[in-house]
């Protein structure tokens, strides 16, 4: 009886604590709040009476801490660590764990590789137990987080037979963080890495960052900006990097760095960085050996070369493979890899920037070393709200291609707009390249299964900063989350991921889950509509990329302007990428090429991406192109209002501080959606010379008003070097 009372008291305390504590988003999706479904709670309590981690590695210590924290929160009572398997023990270990020796684990684990895991109910010593097992430590950690997610989302745990293996090998965040702690295209404060105080001061946030990543299977982090600074490779900075690498190691996370191609000159005192120069090769070999001496599991390098002013092999009349291979040879003896970016464009403005990566890389297929991956952005231009998939996917069969998604919302409303990106990620992953017939999806290119590559990877440009809630917008956390989940398993649906995330982050209440999920799922299309409908692209503000700027012209490069991309004129609008235009369509394989080439068949969501069409063109809706364009802009802005209304119904059902924060951001988003709509419609109207269709409210400002707006301090601007 006394125990029962104590129990109830604990629950009341926990409940009131949760109710009173204003959440600040710091805990991400790892809040571990008390299971609210009473039946499930009883069930979980009966099934998990104690736990045992039969392992003493640093990873096992992390697991112990996580279990204590999670089970106390979720079950409302502390669940003891036990010495041997008794009734209701959660048993955790690797294949050789003594406590699991009766279970034929070798066999059960034969297909899951070094990072996969199994979870199943079974009897040990005739007692009902639940087992989480893996071949290696990291798999054990991933299995535990998977299991905790099941509790967090109120899944049944009575008959488990789970086997999970990641679909891509390198699941990695790319931090565009500078050594001065500014973050290029970062909207959540400054860099997490406090270089000045490292290596002596270890910010506790580093641990929480690592926990969050491990919970979604992210196993690598590139600490530094692709617009790289060679200083990171100097001994003083390598000490700091080592401290982070040591800390991340037990979480299964390897550290990678960006390599500035001209580092041999800048910090090595050489006269050249020519990749075929013996001294340069030697310099990199020595530098790499120096790194591996202190970081034995250093992952390797990410390189942006000969793009946007970055130095590279072309400075010495060498090609990308020459550059990548030189670094690859240096890291090879240590099992390191090189991720060489395909986001390149020439100093000479080409006919069409979207063609450049393919033109430069496709001929190099087959010439890269085995430990090189070419990292390709999801679309051929630059992380726009909607792009067709990059034509390099499926076009370089002999080279493992890695996906690069942008999690930070550089072109999607920064950290102010609620935009759930999983639908964008999925749209690209599920696209069919037809490289080897139907079903040759981008996902199968990048997971290596299409061409049987052993290396595979997915990179996400991080949206993480030192804001208390990590990502700026509370819902932006879902983009970090869904990136990790999809890198682990690209077959998951955007809906399923949103479902998990909402349950863990806000509430398991069915109505709340469905409401927030609806907003999230709709948000990307809504944003495309009020920013860049019908295949428009690159019409954002100059340099900072904040807000609309379809009028941007007369800049140092034509392909840095907006007019270059929308090509609006009196007769029509859109970029002609067919044979009568830039012929970028030739880079797609059949039948994708034919499908997009024909304006009648082309998905209207990409129409102005591939075609220049008349303002009077009849659209599928029956409207003219001009009317349809207006319609979509207005629909987008109206839907932003709908998101607000939906959110407002959640008052009192989610944490109040979070509720109010999102509410205020949605208000800004709605105003900015109207701003985008008005500015774009008024601007394009100067060409179409047609009225805004009846029934739509007229913009309350003039085009001149929108054009003269300036934002010198918009966040995330790329600094000048």
Q: Euclidean distance between the first and final Cα of the chain, in Å?
A: 70
Separation CA 186–CA 193 (nearest Å): 13
* Smaller CB separation from ligand BDP, 28 or 401: 401
User: Which listed residue (404, 410, 500, 655) is catalytic?
Assistant: 410
CA distances from 191 to 101, 377, 467, 468 (A): 45, 23, 9, 12
* Residue 266 appears among annotated catalytic residues: no
Catalytic residue among 382, 495, 638, 707: 382
Q: Is 343 in the site for ligand BDP (CB under 6 A)?
A: yes
The single-letter DSSP state of residue 466 is S
Nearer to ligand BDP, 220 or 250 (CB): 220
Site for ligand BDP in 80-119 (CB under 6 A): none
Cis check for the bond before 100: say yes or no (omega within 30 of 0): no
CB of 447 to ligand BDP, least distance (A): 23
Q: Does 718 bind ligand BDP (CB under 6 A)?
A: yes
Return d(Cα 178, Cα 720) in angstroms, integer: 12
Interface with ligand BDP, residue 340, by CB under 6 A: no
DSSP codes of every residue in 474-504: GGGHHHHHHHHHHHH-TTS-HHHHHHHHHHH
φ/ψ of residue 441, rounded to 5: -70, 160
Q: How many residues does the chain have?
A: 721
Q: Which of 24, 43, 246, 382 binds ligand BDP (CB under 6 A)?
A: 382
Residues 301-330 binding ligand BDP (CB under 6 A) are 304, 308
CB of 304 to ligand BDP, least distance (A): 5
Least gap, CB of 460 to ligand BDP (angstroms): 12
Helix (H) or strand (E) holding 659: helix 656-688
Q: 43, 308, 499, 586: which is the annotated catalytic residue?
A: 308
What minimum distance in Å lies between the beta carbon of 258 and ligand BDP? Answer: 10
Cβ proximity to ligand BDP, 304 vs 612, nearer residue = 304
Which CB atom, from 246 or from 308, has the smaller least distance to ligand BDP?
A: 308
Tell me how far, at minimum, the Cβ of 718 lies from ligand BDP, in Å. Answer: 4
CB of 383 to ligand BDP, least distance (A): 5
Asked if 184 is part of the footprint of ligand BDP (rule: CB under 6 A), the reply reads yes
Tell the smallest beta-carbon distance from residue 199 to ligand BDP (Å). 28
Beta strand pairing status for 254-258 and 220-222?
A: parallel
Radius of gyration of the chain (CA): 26
- The C-alpha angle with vertex 530 and arms to 585 and 669, in degrees rounded to 5, equals 135
**Closest distance between ligand BDP and the C-beta of residue 716, in Å?**
8
Q: Which two tokens stand for residue 470?
A: 């990590």
Name which position in 171, 175, 185, 318 contacts ligand BDP (CB under 6 A). 185
Which of residues 226 and 666 has its CB atom nearest to ligand BDP in the complex? 226
216-275 binders of ligand BDP (CB under 6 A): 226-227
Contacts of 181 (CB under 8 A, 6+ apart): 190, 191, 193, 194, 195
* Closer to ligand BDP by Cβ: residue 138 or 305: 305
Identity of the residue, 410 or 672, whose beta carbon is nearer to ligand BDP in the bound complex:
410
Nearest to 474 by CA among 13, 23, 5: 23
569 is catalytic: no
State the minimum distance, in angstroms, from the CB of residue 404 to ligand BDP.
8
Minimum CB distance to ligand BDP smaller for 382 or for 707: 382
Q: Is 655 one of the annotated active-site residues of the chain? A: no
Closer CB to ligand BDP, 382 or 656, in the complex: 382
Site size for ligand BDP, by CB under 6 A? Answer: 11
Residues 432-461 that bind ligand BDP (CB under 6 A): none
Residue the block writes with tokens 């204003």: 22
- Cβ-contact 470, 203 below 8 angstroms: no
**3-state SS track over 336-391:** CEEEEECCCCCCCCCCCHHHHHHHHHHHHCCCCCCCEEEEEECCCCCCCCCCCCCC
**Which of 58, 66, 82 has its CA nearest to residue 151?**
66
- Measured distance CA(457)–CA(402) in Å, rounded: 5
By CB atoms closer than 10 A (0-12, 13-18, 19+), residue 222 is buried
- The residues of the shown chain that bind ligand BDP, judged by CB under 6 A, are 184-185, 226-227, 304, 308, 343, 382-383, 410, 718
Active site residues: 308, 382, 410
């Amino acid at each position: 009886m006394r125990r029962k009372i104590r129990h109830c008291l604990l629950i009341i305390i926990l409940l009131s604590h949760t109710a009173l504590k204003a959440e600040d988003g710091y805990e991400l999706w790892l809040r571990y709040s008390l299971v609210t479904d009473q039946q499930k709670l009883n069930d979980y309590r009966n099934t998990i009476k104690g736990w045992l981690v039969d392992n003493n590695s640093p990873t096992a210590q992390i697991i112990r801490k996580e279990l204590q924290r999670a089970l106390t929160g979720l079950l409302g009572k502390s669940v003891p660590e036990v010495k041997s398997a008794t009734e209701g023990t959660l048993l955790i270990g690797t294949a050789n764990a003594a406590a699991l020796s009766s279970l034929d684990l070798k066999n059960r684990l034969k297909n899951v590789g070094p990072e996969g895991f199994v979870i199943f109910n079974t009897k040990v010593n005739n007692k009902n137990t639940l087992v989480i097992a893996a071949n290696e430590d990291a798999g054990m950690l991933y299995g535990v987080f998977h299991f905790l997610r099941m509790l967090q989302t109120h899944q049944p745990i009575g008959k488990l037979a789970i086997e999970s293996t990641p679909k891509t090998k390198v699941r990695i965040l790319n931090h565009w963080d500078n050594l001065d702690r500014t973050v290029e295209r970062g909207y959540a404060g400054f860099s997490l890495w406090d270089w000045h105080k490292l290596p002596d001061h270890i910010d506790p946030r580093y641990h929480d960052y690592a926990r969050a990543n491990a919970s979604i299977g992210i196993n690598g982090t590139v600490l530094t900006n692709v617009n790289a600074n060679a200083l990171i490779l100097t001994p003083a900075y390598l000490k700091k990097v080592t401290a982070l690498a040591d800390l991340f190691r037990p979480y299964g996370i390897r550290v990678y760095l960006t390599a500035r191609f001209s580092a041999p000159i800048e910090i090595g005192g050489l006269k050249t960085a020519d990749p075929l120069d013996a001294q340069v090769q030697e310099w990199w070999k020595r530098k790499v050996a120096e790194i591996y001496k202190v970081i034995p599991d250093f992952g390797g390098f990410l390189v942006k070369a000969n793009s946007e002013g970055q130095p590279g092999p072309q400075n010495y009349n060498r090609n990308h493979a020459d550059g990548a291979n030189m670094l690859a040879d240096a890291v090879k003896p240590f099992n390191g890899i090189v991720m060489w970016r395909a986001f390149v464009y020439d100093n000479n403005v080409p006919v069409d920037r979207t063609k450049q990566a393919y033109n430069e890389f496709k001929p190099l297929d087959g010439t890269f070393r085995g430990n090189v991956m070419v990292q390709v952005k999801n679309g051929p231009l630059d992380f726009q709200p909607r792009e067709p998939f990059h034509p390099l996917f499926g076009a370089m069969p002999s080279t493992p291609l890695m996906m690069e998604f942008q999690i930070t919302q550089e072109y999607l409303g920064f950290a102010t707009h609620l935009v759930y990106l999983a639908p964008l990620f999925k749209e690209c992953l599920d696209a069919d390249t037809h490289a080897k017939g139907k079903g040759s999806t981008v996902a199968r290119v990048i997971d290596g299964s299409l061409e049987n590559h052993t290396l595979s990877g997915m990179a996400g440009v991080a949206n993480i900063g030192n804001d208390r809630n990590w990502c700026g917008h509370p819902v932006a956390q879902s983009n970090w989350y869904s990136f990790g989940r999809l890198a682990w398993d690209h077959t998951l649906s955007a809906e399923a991921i949103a479902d998990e995330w909402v349950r863990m982050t806000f509430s398991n209440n069915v109505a709340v889950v469905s409401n927030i999920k609806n907003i999230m799922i709709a948000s990307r299309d809504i944003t495309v509509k009020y920013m860049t409908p019908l295949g428009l692209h690159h019409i954002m503000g100059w340099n900072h990329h904040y807000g609309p700027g379809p009028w941007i012209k007369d800049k140092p490069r034509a392909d840095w302007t907006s007019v270059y991309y929308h090509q609006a004129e009196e007769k029509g609008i859109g970029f002609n990428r067919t044979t009568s235009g830039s012929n970028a369509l030739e880079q797609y394989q059949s039948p994708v090429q034919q499908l997009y080439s024909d304006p009648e068949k082309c998905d209207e969501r990409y129409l102005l991406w591939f075609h220049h069409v008349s303002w009077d063109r009849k659209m599928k809706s029956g409207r003219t192109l001009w009317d349809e364009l207006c319609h979509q802009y207005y629909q987008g802005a109206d839907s932003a209002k709908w998101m607000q209304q939906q959110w407002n119904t959640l008052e009192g059902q989610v944490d109040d501080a979070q509720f109010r924060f999102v509410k205020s951001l949605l208000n800004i988003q709605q105003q900015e959606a109207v701003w985008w709509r008005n500015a774009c419609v008024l601007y394009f109207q100067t060409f179409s010379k047609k009225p805004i269709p009846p029934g739509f409210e007229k913009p309350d400002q003039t085009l001149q008003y929108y054009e003269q707006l300036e934002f010198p301090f918009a966040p995330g601007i790329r600094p000048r070097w």
